[in-house]
Amino acid sequence: MRAPRWMRALLGGYGVLLMLLLYLPLLAVFFASISKARYLSFPIRRYSGDWYGEALGSETVHVLLRTSLLVAAIVTVLSVVLGYFGALAFARYRWRYRTLFQKLVLLPIFFPQTVLGLALLMWFNAIGVLPSWQTAVIAHLVWIAPIATLIIAIRAYGFDPMLEDAARDLGCSDWQVQREVTLPLLAPGVVSAALFAFLLSWGNFPLSLFTTGADSTLPEWLYAKMVSGYSPLVPTVGMLSVAASMLLIALAAAVLALRPLFAHGSVARSGSNEPPRS
């Protein structure tokens, strides 16, 4: 039952239109970032890259970058560790409270993030912890670790438990099974979970808002500038932040594309569902 030609063309056009709309605002930010004028107005008369120089030279931006990077890096490592084991419990092993556990993991994702941030602020206050970038790491983790779990779980659903059993029958210890079979098979999921964790933390605003205390992340600073009036640095710094994310994605894509060149030996490492050779 193949869709008729006119229908395929119509749906294709619809898809293209939606994708264009999806990127339209980023185009506006891009044009704003290269406008020379201090007060933006379209059509743009004179273009200049000066604001980029100013943004890159600004001490404030450096501090923001450092904080955002630090938070995102720690969130990435911790959420991958939590998510890896979480995913095994979520998808791989049959155990008693599994369905309850699945719901607990999903619940934070279905939760308004602003409220989550406030709840954590009250909790930190109640136990006498002063908010700073460290508490923001906790806040990001509450939302991002479950997402990492889900991403790795999708991978864990797809793999055949017989592989682990076979390795065990051949005399592997629990630890060896993990290292030689489970981890290599889940590796692609782990990589995408890490990528997502980093990017979601890097771009997150609602969770940071209440939990960073005196520190500030890049999205927070941008928001503060946006609501307090136009500043030519906002589109520029925004564009730089987007460019950094895109660069990371491109890097990851390049690594994935080039991986077959480096992969040799273990079949499991290439992610196919065959048992590893010893």
Partner 1 sequence: MSARERRLGALCATPITLFLALGFLVPLLVVAAFSTMPLKVFDLAHVPDFTAFAEVVRQGYWKSLAWSLGMAALSTLILFVICWPLAWAMVHVFTRFTLVITVLVVVTLIVSENIRLFGWSLTLMKGGMIEGMLRSWTGYGFDGLLYNVPVIVFGLVYVYFPFMLFPLVQGIAMVPGDARHAAADLGATPRQVLTEIELPLASPGIMVGGLLSFVLAAGAVAESKLLGGQAVIVISDDVETAFTYGQNWPLGAALAIVLIVVVGSLALYALARLDLDTVMGRGER
Residue 6 as a binder of partner 1 (CB under 8 A): the answer is: no
Least Å distance, CB 232 to partner 1, is 12
Using the contact rule CB under 8 A, the part of the chain among 55-63, 121-129, 257-265, 268-276 near partner 1 is 121-129
Total residues at the site for partner 1 (CB under 8 A)? 103
Nearest to 229 by CA among 40, 47, 56: 40
Least Å distance, CB 47 to partner 1, is 15
Using the contact rule CB under 8 A, the part of the chain among 47-55, 57-65, 115-123, 263-271 near partner 1 is 115-123
Residue 189 as a binder of partner 1 (CB under 8 A): the answer is: no
Q: What residues contact residue 85 under an 8 Å CB cut-off, 6+ apart?
A: none
Q: What residues contact residue 21 under an 8 Å CB cut-off, 6+ apart?
A: none
Using the contact rule CB under 8 A, the part of the chain among 51-59, 116-124, 261-269, 270-278 near partner 1 is 116-124
Spatial distance between the Cα atoms of 10 and 246, rounded to a whole number of angstroms? 30
Question: Within 13 A of 102's CA, how many CA atoms are on the CB side?
Answer: 12
Q: Which is nearer to partner 1, 220 or 275 (CB)?
A: 220
Nearest to 101 by CA among 141, 144, 149: 149
Residue 167 as a binder of partner 1 (CB under 8 A): the answer is: no
Residue 133 as a binder of partner 1 (CB under 8 A): the answer is: no
Spatial distance between the Cα atoms of 148 and 141, rounded to a whole number of angstroms? 10
Q: Which is nearer to partner 1, 240 or 268 (CB)?
A: 240
Q: Structure tokens of 128?
A: 């006498």
C-beta of residue 164 within 8 angstroms of C-beta of residue 177: yes
Of the candidate residues 58, 132, 231, 245, the single one contacting partner 1 (CB under 8 A): 245
Of the candidate residues 38, 99, 229, 262, the single one contacting partner 1 (CB under 8 A): 99
Looking at residues 213 to 242 of the shown chain, list those that interact with partner 1 (rule: CB under 8 A).
218-219, 222-223, 226-227, 234-235, 238, 241-242
Least Å distance, CB 264 to partner 1, is 27
Of the candidate residues 61, 150, 185, 186, the single one contacting partner 1 (CB under 8 A): 150
Spatial distance between the Cα atoms of 126 and 79, rounded to a whole number of angstroms? 25
Site string for partner 1, 12-31 (x = CB under 8 A): x-xx--xx-xxxxxxxxx-x
Spatial distance between the Cα atoms of 201 and 220, rounded to a whole number of angstroms? 12
Site string for partner 1, 246-265 (x = CB under 8 A): x--x----------------
Phi and psi (nearest 5°) for 216? Answer: -145, 140
Question: Within 13 A of 221's CA, how many CA atoms are on the CB side?
Answer: 23
Of the candidate residues 54, 111, 188, 267, the single one contacting partner 1 (CB under 8 A): 111
Looking at residues 51 to 80 of the shown chain, list those that interact with partner 1 (rule: CB under 8 A).
none
* CA-CA-CA-CA dihedral for 257, 261, 263, 267, to nearest 10: 80
Spatial distance between the Cα atoms of 14 and 37, rounded to a whole number of angstroms? 36
Residue 179 as a binder of partner 1 (CB under 8 A): the answer is: no
Between 233-262 and 50-57, two packed helices, what is the crossing angle to 10 degrees?
Answer: 80
Q: Which is nearer to partner 1, 216 or 241 (CB)?
A: 241
